[in-house]
Structures are given as structure tokens and as C-alpha cells.
Structure 1
Amino acid sequence: MSSGGIIRPNQRYRIQGEFYTLLSRLGYGSFGSVWTSRTENGDFAAVKVFDLSRSGSRIRLNERQNSFRNEIKMLDRMRNETEHIVTMYTFEYNPRISMAFIAMELADESLIDRVKNLHQRHLRSRMLDRFDFISANDRQNIWIQLVNIILTLHRYGVVHCDLKPANLLFFGPLLKVIDFGIAQDEFTGYNRRQRIGGTRPYSAPECFSDRTPVTSKADIWSVGAILYFLTYGKRPIYETAQAPDGVSQTRSRLVQDILQHCLQRNPSRRPDHQWLAQHPLTIPPGIF
């Protein structure tokens, strides 16, 4: 078994008695890196690796430990929601090498890559709705799954706080959310020490401030920002429904309506989950 230190391909780690060989890095963030891995039986999985040594990251050790514990707690809470939440296989903290691991199901494609492919297909099509980044039908199909994801989070009292294209993956036709490292309980109440963080501009403004409580309305902002990405192929850098510079505003009145409602800096002015669930864009065939 590999010791702590620099993580490289072909290193092997034991997680709850089973060896996983890291093959290639899929991504990394503030709290850890994610790797394609293979078990001794030849099965593939995604393994998230947390370096919990004192010199392992610029992020404070207690924050990295909390991220590991928090992700396990949230994934275990929603372990039966296999259609919308990534499935966790197992996890382990190894104090001898100061590393922790979470083994999960391995995705087929990221939302980012799927949207790039859909964009190329859209450009080749003979359809007349080539004003937006992907077709209206493809956008709506993804949007409906996004709404189902935040309805699931809300049902379990989870605020993700970092919903973004990089944290949404396709497993066959199913879109699932990953990375619950900074997620929080919806009903914990407000305190001045609330967890702060996320990814601008996909995370809501209040995630970066200790002046406004972080509630489930934070995820409402995020799905609006993701819909913006699906529509324009770019991040909402102005944190409004305004189209990117040099890009025409979408002709979809339904998309405009959602963007204008969700991308409100004041959380109290954003709609609730049921408003999104009952919106015509969420209920086929409401495309325009």
C-alpha cells in the first residue's frame, strides 16, 4: 500500500479491505482530488482522495477533515436517491498515512463535456432555433433533471452550496450531483460562523458573506446560473440575467423568466422549489 505524499497514477490504496489502483486524475479541488480507479476484481470506480497531513494543502487541516466528514454524512443521508445523487460505495480514513478516501460510482461524461458535444450537434443541425448554445429540447431535458436534483436535496434538508457544471455528471442518461464537501443542513439556523465558500458565479452571493443566512435559496441561484450556462455557453459573470457581451439574448421567454427570478442577489426575491417544479419550462412541452 502506498504511503502518504504526492499522489500519482498506479498507486494502490486499501479502502475497507479492498485495493483500489488509481489510474488517472479526473479533477481536483481545494479539499482533494478525484481519480478513475480499478479494483482487484477489475471493476471501475471514482475515488476521492483527501490529503489530511498538516502540510498537505493551503487549506487548513480542520477544514479538510470537516469536508471529508461532511461529504460522507450527506451521501449517507441520501444513499437511496440513486437517480439524482452519486452513489457512495465505501470510505475510510487512514491515520497512519494521514489520508482519507471515498469510493463512488464512476460517471460516463461530465455535464461540461455533454454540453460541448450538444453544441457541436446543434451547429450542424438544420433547425432554425440556433440562437442559443444548445437546442431548446436538449436544454429542457437537462433542466428538468436539474430541478429534480434540487427537489431531492430540498426533501432531505440539504443545501449543496456548490452546484455548478463541474459537479454534475452523467451516468448513462441520468444527471447526478457530486461533491458535498461544503454542503450544509437546511435547518441548522443562522450563525456568524456559517460555512462560507463555493464557486463564483455559480454559488449564491450569500455563500461568500457572513451577513446573510445560507438557505435552500442558495441552490435556487445555482440552478439559474447553470441554466444560463446551458443557454449561452458561458458563466453569468455579471451575476444577472443579462446576456454575455457580444451574444444575443435568448428568444425563450420561459428561460428569460427563470433567469430573472433565480439570479436575484436578495435570496428572499428568488422563487421557491415548487415554483421551479411547476414552471412551464419544467413541464413538457413548454420550450418557449
Structure 2
Amino acid sequence: MSILDAATSTAGAATTSQAARRRNYMKINGKCYTRIDCLGRGGSGKVYRVAADNGHMFALKRVSIENADENTVKGYKGEIDLLKRLTKVERVITLFDYEMNDEKKVLSLLMEMGELDLYTLLKKRCSPENSSESAKFDPVFVRYWWKEMLECLAAVHAYDIVHSDLKPANFVLVQGRLKLIDFGIANAIQTEETVNVHREAQVGTPNYMSPESLIDSNAAGSGGRGNPSAAKVDEAGQAQ
């Protein structure tokens, strides 16, 4: 029995016509899931909380690829390949199923659902009602979550993968432990050839990138216009 079958057993994710007539259902590879609510959105995609007929909850990421260019679609497929490769890694969110619907131009990914992301956790801790608690530096709090983040990184680095977009929102809390999500711009390093990943374009979230990895758009160039310089990233994800 596959991981997905085990998670949706006891009636499972129904495929009957009765289930298909539900008002709030979403389907992946013929299996129907009840849509509960929307967990988040960004760009051309949304993430929903869905439930199988046995009540098991999942996160369903649905992305429109109607106006996506070749590189964008390649990035989506790369994310799927990496998540499949990391299926048994406990520190990476589990991908249960996926479907690329070329007719409807929609990509769907059925994944493990987390309780909340690290950004939300930190934001709640720093909220006004918790100001007295967070006014003082808490070494236990920092040490615990820093260790959790490092264990996530160590897990993917063991598979020679550089995430490339590390930020609190891409660490999700699942049963008290952090897991990494969003491998859309991650890279698998060919270690037998090199330990460096050379990027011709800037990737990542600027607020969480190291200063030296940011492209200098004001660099001297012909006609007084800046020529962006490429960034080189090593196995640890550090720019060189």
C-alpha cells in the first residue's frame, strides 16, 4: 500500500459519482478531496486545506500554468522531482500526489499539511499582547528554533540540494518539528563535477538574502547603465 493509500484508507479519497457532485471538492488523478478553506495564496497559485473521506487533512497547492513560460513550468517540474527524491526525508514536507493537467493548464500538488509556518509563529510571539514575554532575549526559544532550522538544512544538504530561498515562511511546523517547503528554485548539485551552483540570475527573497548574493545593478557598465553581475552559490547556499 502506498503512502497516499494509507493516508486515505477507510473509504479513502472517494472516486464515486456521488462524491464528484459535491459542491466543494477538488480532484487529483481521479481522487476527490473536500475543500475546507484557503491557507494562502501567492502569484498564480493558492494552497487549500482539503480532507479525504476518512477525515485525513492535506494541503493542496493548485497553480495556474496558463500564462507560465517554459522556465516557470520547468521550475514547477523541478520542485516535483526534488520532493519525490526527498519523500523519505523527515525534515521535508511530504508530497503525496501531483497532477499536471495540460487541458485545464493547472498544476496540483497534494502535500502534508503543517499547523503554521515559522514566520507566523515569530509574528505571534512579537505581537503587542505578548510584548512583555518577548521583551527579553530568550536563549531557550532561539536555541530551539535555530537548531530546528539547521536540522532541516542538514537533511537536504545530505542529498546535495541547495534550497535557495530560505526564510521563515518556508519552514512549516508539523507536530512540533520544522519542515522545509517550496523547492521551486532549489538546485540539486552534481557533486562529482563541482560543489558550486552558478546562477546567471538573482534568486531568492531579498529581505532574507545575504548582502553579497544580491546582484549589483549599479555596477559600472557601458553607457553609464549598470550591468548585473552573476552570483555564485556554494553547497552551503553562500554566495561567493
Q: Is TM (by shorter chain) over 0.5? A: yes
**Secondary structure at the counterpart of residue 51 of structure 2:** strand
Offset at 1:197?
1.9
Decide whether aligned partners of structure 1 residues 203 and 73 sit closer, same or farther in structure 2, where only a CA change above 3 A counts: farther
How many Å separate the matches in 1 of 2:214 and 2:187? 11
Structure 2 residue corresponding to 1:99, chosen from 98, 103, 106 = 106
Q: Does 1:70 align with 2:78?
A: yes
How many Å separate the matches in 2 of 1:184 and 1:148? 18
Offset at 1:52?
1.1
Offset at 1:122?
6.3
Q: Could you tell me which amino acid in structure 2 is paired with residue 12 of structure 1? A: Y
Q: Does 1:33 align with 2:46?
A: yes
Aligned to 2:15: none
Structure 1 residue corresponding to 2:206, chosen from 200, 206, 226 = 200
8 A contact 1:45–1:104 mirrored in 2: yes
- The structure with more strand, counted as a fraction of residues: 2
* Percentage identity across paired residues of the two chains: 24
Structure 2 residue corresponding to 1:174, chosen from 174, 177, 182 = 177
Offset at 1:180?
0.4
8 A contact 2:59–2:110 mirrored in 1: yes
Aligned to 2:89: 81
Structure 2 residue corresponding to 1:211, chosen from 230, 233, 240 = 230
How many Å separate the matches in 2 of 1:115 and 1:193? 31
Q: Could you tell me which amino acid in structure 2 is paired with residue 212 of structure 1? A: A
Let me know the Cα RMSD of the aligned residues. 2.7
Q: Could you tell me which amino acid in structure 1 is paired with residue 53 of structure 2? A: E
8 A contact 1:198–1:207 mirrored in 2: no
How many Å separate the matches in 1 of 2:175 and 2:233? 33
Q: Could you tell me which amino acid in structure 1 is paired with residue 73 of structure 2? A: Q
Q: Could you tell me which amino acid in structure 2 is paired with residue 163 of structure 1? A: L
Offset at 1:202?
1.0
How many Å separate the matches in 2 of 1:18 and 1:112? 32
8 A contact 2:47–2:62 mirrored in 1: yes
**Secondary structure at the counterpart of residue 234 of structure 2:** coil
Offset at 1:168?
0.9
8 A contact 1:192–1:210 mirrored in 2: no
8 A contact 2:120–2:169 mirrored in 1: no
Offset at 1:193?
6.2
Long gaps (5+) in structure 1: 1-9, 55-59, 221-266, 269-288
Q: Could you tell me which amino acid in structure 2 is paired with residue 214 of structure 1? A: V
8 A contact 2:197–2:233 mirrored in 1: no
How many Å separate the matches in 2 of 1:124 and 1:191? 44
8 A contact 1:27–1:34 mirrored in 2: yes
8 A contact 2:46–2:62 mirrored in 1: yes
Q: Normalized against structure 2, the TM-score is what?
A: 0.73
How many Å separate the matches in 1 of 2:149 and 2:206? 19
**Secondary structure at the counterpart of residue 217 of structure 1:** coil
